Structure 1
Amino acid sequence: LRIPERVQFRYRLDPVDTEWSDAGTRRQAYYTKLRPGNYTFRVIASNDHGVWNETGASFSFRILPAWYQTAWFAVLCGLAIVLIVWMIYRLRLRQVAATLSARFDDRLAERTRLARELHDTFLQTVQSSKMIAEDALREDTDEKRRQQTLEKLSIWLGRAVDEARAAVHSLRGSTTEKNHLSEALQRAVEEHERPASMSVIFSAVGDARDMHPIVRDEIYRIADEAIRNAAAHSRGSRLEIELRYANDLSLRIKDNGQGIDPALLAGGREGHFGLQGMRERASRIRSKLTVVSSAKAGTEVTLVVPGTVVYRYEHPTLFHKLNNTVRRLFHPSGDDDIRPD
């Protein structure tokens, strides 16, 4: 100890170090990132003649864990992860169940509508045809009257065929192919029987865009019902159909016929579900349905479907997301407007 600057040091920190570290004449030791636990710091030294003190000195200490290093925190993290995974799993199950339920409800609603249509049209027509046939089979019927009855029966059976064809037509997946809504509407015009004097003008404005199949099919069914009503009841000479692709999808069907009675336009015909079905379909796809009718100008049906609902976006932009959110806030269940002029 006569020459302290020649004293050599070695140190070791148990249980971090496995061997002695030579510090030379340096009198400091540095350790970083020590984990919580118990430690023993050992030091040995030698004099200027190189004689080492093998016993040395030691100092024991303990580093307390931080709150995020405790066992209870690790257990809580594990439980939180398990809870989050379970919640995600439950949420996914609810989404799947809601989707299936919505599909089943749509199918049930469609079957109910078809059952009503068959009851109101097809079955009544068949029943009337049966009564006409029974009248023709009466023994006291003369040949001329029987001929007239058979002609009437032929007309009624033809009407029954048309009504059955219309019911089957509504079951077809008419718009399952990609971007063929315009072609499907043109086929609907051709398949519905209309007066020979009625001319049809069809126009599609804008480039066809990829649409969600379910929304596209609802649009088609609304249009099909409007076309069928115009062809069967308007008694007009002109039918205009316009399909417009823009930020929103718009569809306009207009005839120059006799219009719809205001009472029927507001509440619908008792036992019939044409207008009511159109409104329900428009509401399901959060669209705006407008029906304007007058005896002088005919009937005009307009359907406007938000682009964020009908169009497919491969990579939705922030604008589309915000626009969709705003529409859901202000129009949670769609909108329809029916006005008699």
Structure 2
Amino acid sequence: MTIGRSRGPAGRGPRSVPKPKRLAHLRIDPRGYPIIAAIGQAPGDIDFGALSESRKLALATFDLCAVCALPFGEELRWQVSFDEATAMAKTLVSNEAPVHEICALYAAQVCPFVSSPYARHGDDVRKGMKRPEITYLTGFRRTARVFGRRSGLQTSESVLHFETTGVEQQLKLSTSTEAIEAYQRALETDVEVTIDDTERELATRLTELTIKDGEDSGSVMAGAAWFAGGAFCPGVGNVQGMRRFTEEPMYTALARQVLLEPGFAKKFEETEDLYTRAALKWLNSRDDLPEILAGWRNTALNRAWHGRPSPGKSSGGTDPKKSKRKLQSAARRKNRR
């Protein structure tokens, strides 16, 4: 789901639509559109027309909404579709990360592609094609899997896919009036999402600019997510934008050490890197990890222990400060800093 770009007349202007309380922390572009969590946003280059695979990895790892970057908690995970067969399926696989209900309904008000019946696709495969007139919103109980595989639109590229399952609610929006009424009902019960300090820090790091580094904060946050367990997402190594992590062995080596040695994970919180620190503090503070991340880590843990001669032997450990210096050196070699 992208906001702010399509071919065709827009629906309601963003400044005329009240925002949900949970979007208050998002930056706003000059036209009034909130800069949502899932789109690329390097300084000076906000790309409303493209989803960021790096950001999707962070969203999947920390179980965050693709619009507001806040956790789902007990709320349903909503997906948007434009054909009835997809909307009625018990399980949906999409290359878009799920969102909160009110975030989806807000997008149905201000996103030109969703709100305008005249909207046209802008990607290379479907360029100029008119989207179907009916918008379906489906609320799922679980995100069952997240994995990398080739895109259905660009078969030469791999992207992250989200499999949501356990349908609990469905909305069919045939007219702008129906969309407005559904959003008004959601606004009437809208409340601020209660989050702890570590969750707030994740949202801040993911939605604010990284002027110092001169790159998309989502790309930096993806590295932090890699350490927390994103490295173990099936097929992630072939996904767009992940080569930087697979080509430098230190990233996955540190992810394995965070997984296998809780003491190292705790020490790694002391890093000067704000993004890694935010990710590790969040990880170390969880009594229960989100289902997707827990599954990735458990699979990797089982494989690691199966390959060890003795579960009681230590790998020898790595000094977090030395590891950080090695990462910085690798980054400089890649002209990231």
Name the TM-score, length of structure 2 as normaliser: 0.21
Between structures 1 and 2, the one with greater helix share: 1
Name the TM-score, length of structure 1 as normaliser: 0.21
Q: Bigger relative contact order, structure 1 or 2, given CA contacts below 8 A and separation 6+?
A: 2
Between structures 1 and 2, the one with greater strand share: 1
